[in-house]
Amino acid sequence: MKTHRPSNTGPLLESSLLDRRGFLYQLGSGVGSVALSWLLNQERAGAAEVLGTKPTLNPLLAKEPHFPARAKSCIFLMMEGGASHMDTFDPKPKLKEMDGKTFQRDDKFKSNQNNGDRFFTPCPFEFQRYGQCGRDVSELFKNVASCVDDLAFVRSVYASSDNHPAALFEFLTGNAFQGSPSIGSWVTYGLGTVNQNLPAFVVLRDGQPFGGTASWGNAYLPTIYQGTQLRSGAVPILDLQPPEEVGRQRQRDTLDLLQMFNREHSQRNLTHPDLEARMASYELAFRMQSEVPGTLSIEGEPESIRKLYGLDQEKTKAFGTRCLLARRLVERGVRFVQLWSGGWDSHDDILKGHRDAAEKVDVPIAGLIQDLKQRGLLDETLVVWGGEFGRTPDTNEGNHKKKTPGRDHNPGAMTMWFAGGGTAGGRLIGATDEIGNKAVESRTSLKDVHATLLHSLGLDQSKLTYYHAGRFKQLTDTGGTVINEILA
């Protein structure tokens, strides 16, 4: 087993005059200098062989997992805004009996729907059972329903915040406050990547999410581990290509000179955490100029595949393209891909809001699962679906009178599902109460979700640590429990 420990545990040695801490650091480093030198040389030699460049430490070199991994990569399907569990994958027939009755909350969420009386709201969508597992799925996901025997559902996930930015941070970084690394950053820090010509962690979305880009940020991890956003259109990565008058050889010569200066500087600053990452970033950007255009070009995909992902329909084309790109990325060794689709924040009209949001993603998600499976990639690719929280079983007085009921934010209950990557298709874990207000059976925290995701990729949550602000930090921080019930 390999424990990932930091490279930034000592003070910067910028001066020949050392304080007490610097003296102790140098004394301690002298004891292990022979071993440390050997380890660094081994990594530098490996990087040089892979990259064909002068020896340098590459933070993105593929690393061995802590134990045999079920999955090699992860595709994270982020339904921004909070999809309603009771209108998608967790039917609540009791709400029909309660329709129009007053609902009394026993908690105090800060919400724009807290004013006035609250009324129970039944699900406006029909549910049907699908697959050999007999899973209940709403009409919103009739195409995903064809894949239920490959999906493992957890209906009892809960979070702590009903505020979009804080909930997104908790969902994607493990901490409701901004300033923690995203899941994708932790995964690439722990495992590196097998394709040195593409980013290890890719984000597919247009625009910015609630709370900004911190949802795929590296925070206190070195910058090389942050997500790279690929935009739609002709320019997926800004400033990827140099000016026309700058040829590739001139770029190479300039980069070699810059790297020489950086290496000399790094020798004088052995404990600086960002220098090696910065050097590796320059090299990665250079290599991406050749690899990215071909990876993102989908013109060569057959018409049957384009149709499978919904590229022939206007409503599904945008997200379908992202799903197809996600398959192409993991196929080429990208470690973590984060896909976004918004529109799920249905406060005013759950019928129209959720129908519109689902129509954009249902066909593409089903196409992604089917395509991964037929290519033999699903077994080694973990696919995760969810939003930052669930929704409440009630609506406010105004929408009740207008007969356009919506639903409020509800961190107390949500549904997530997992596919591939060693998960057991057809499984169902946990339950909410009869009105869908709270998770009550096999309650599953987001820390448990994160621990399970890391486990599937061969990473032990307690060993994947980084020293920051005086202690070793981890994604799950105080610890989560692996959801063994959904693992094959």
Residue-wise pLDDT tens digits, 387-425: 999 999 999 887 888 888 999 999 999 999 999 999 999
* Dihedral sign (CA 36, 195, 266, 14): negative
Percent of all residues in the chain with a pLDDT value above 70, rounded to a whole number: 74
Q: 246-304: per-residue pLDDT in tens?
A: 566 665 666 667 777 777 776 776 656 566 666 566 656 555 555 555 566 688 899 99
Q: What angle do CA 152, 125, 99 make, to 5 degrees?
A: 115
Q: Token digits for 336?
A: 């973590």
Closest to 158 (Cα-Cα) out of 350, 388, 339? 388
Asked if 189 and 4 count as a contact pair (C-beta separation under 8 A), the reply is yes
Q: Is the pLDDT of residue 473 over 70?
A: yes
Distance CA(21)–CA(253), nearest Å, equals 40
Name which of 49-53, 132-136, 296-300, 475-479 the model is least confident about. 49-53
Q: Which residue has the higher pLDDT, 380 or 1?
A: 380
DSSP at 4 = B
pLDDT value for 47 = 40
Q: List CB contacts of 287: < 8 A, sequence separation 6 or more.
A: 51, 196, 197
pLDDT value for 16 = 40
pLDDT-derived band of residue 59, with 50, 70 and 90 as boundaries?
A: confident
Q: Is the pLDDT of residue 7 over 50?
A: no
Q: Is the pLDDT of residue 19 over 80?
A: no
Distance CA(453)–CA(183), nearest Å, equals 9
Asked if 177 and 169 count as a contact pair (C-beta separation under 8 A), the reply is yes
> Which amino acid, residue 376?
G
Buried b (16+ CB within 10 A) or exposed e, 446-476: bbbbbbbbbbbbbbbbebbbbebeeeebbbb
Q: Which residue has the higher pLDDT, 310 or 195?
A: 310
Asked if 410 and 390 count as a contact pair (C-beta separation under 8 A), the reply is yes
Output the DSSP codes for 115-139.
SS-EEE----S-EEEETTTTEEEEG
Decide: helix, strand or coil at residue 149.
Answer: helix
Q: What angle do CA 390, 393, 394 make, to 5 degrees?
A: 120
CA distances from 178 to 59, 140, 359, 470 (A): 24, 33, 32, 18
CA distances from 207 to 36, 234, 341, 342 (A): 44, 16, 11, 10
* Dihedral sign (CA 232, 233, 238, 239): positive
Q: What angle do CA 338, 296, 381 make, to 5 degrees?
A: 40
Closest to 185 (Cα-Cα) out of 485, 468, 437? 468
pLDDT value for 45 = 40
Per-residue pLDDT averaged across 356-373, rounded? 98
Distance CA(225)–CA(181), nearest Å, equals 9
Distance CA(146)–CA(149), nearest Å, equals 8
Q: Structural domains in the chain?
A: 73-236+283-486 (3.40.720.10)
Q: Which residue has the higher pLDDT, 212 or 463?
A: 463
Q: In whole numbers, what is the pLDDT of the chain averaged over residues?
A: 83
Decide: helix, strand or coil at residue 305.
Answer: helix
Q: Token digits for 347?
A: 């406060």
Q: Token digits for 332?
A: 């080429």
- Beta bridge partners of residue 4, listed in sequence order: 464
Distance CA(315)–CA(343), nearest Å, equals 13
Q: What is the rounded radius of gyration, in angstroms, for the C-alpha atoms of the chain?
A: 24
Q: Is the pTM of this model over 0.75?
A: yes
